[in-house]
Structure 1
């Protein structure tokens, strides 16, 4: 039995935009009681996924050039935020490791 495999297609830019906005909303209000993960674990992951989505939106062929420029600027700000969060997370993790090994 043969399966027909569709050619890979570019995702809809409006779907990507909606998904990215949902991630941004979750980042702004992490609702830590709804997950087993705390804010320290979730925030860096959300920020990196937002940066990734913005990268693909920035280069999406269906979007106007001016829209892509705005997305590029937003992506640069989110990337700086994600990098800062990752640095703080690494510091938080190493401090937690030190406190557990010191006893």
Structure 2
């Protein structure tokens, strides 16, 4: 069943279509889960935290979010922002891992 805000599309398309505020909330919750499950030394952890701060900022001012939910998002935004400021920033690109491919010697 499609959400009423979704545009009509291919009936065989099984992607979930969410209104923007729900998609933003779902993405934020997924990022929080990823952040919580990532090891402390994960090179992407700080990027996830930065995106969380951004998402919480937008949720705190979203017109489709209730005032109490906006206040909670603003509070979380402040807490994540402070936490992010206490986290050292990784300088330069991440170190290569065994899963990375070697750079090609030339292009054919």
* Bin of the TM-score, shorter chain as denominator length: 0.5 to 0.7
2:23 is matched with 15
Q: Is the counterpart of residue 56 in structure 1 residue 69 in structure 2?
A: no
CA RMSD of aligned residues (A): 2.2
Q: Using CA pairs below 8 Å that are at least 6 residues apart, which structure has the higher relative contact order?
A: 1
Structure 2: distance between partners of 1:79 and 1:31: 20
Structure 1, unaligned runs of 5 or more? 1-10, 33-37, 94-103
Q: Identify which of 23, 32, 43 aligns with 1:24.
A: 32
1:72-91 to structure 2, matched below 5 A, reads: 72-85=74-87, 88-90=88-90
Structure 2: distance between partners of 1:48 and 1:21: 14
Structure 1: distance between partners of 2:50 and 2:83: 9
Per-residue deviation, residues 39-89 of structure 1 (Å, max 9, x unmatched) = 1x211111000000001111100111111001100110111111111xx23
Structure 2: distance between partners of 1:15 and 1:71: 15
Q: Give TM-score, length-normalised by structure 2.
A: 0.61
- Number of equivalences: 74
Q: Identify which of 50, 66, 69 aligns with 2:68.
A: 66
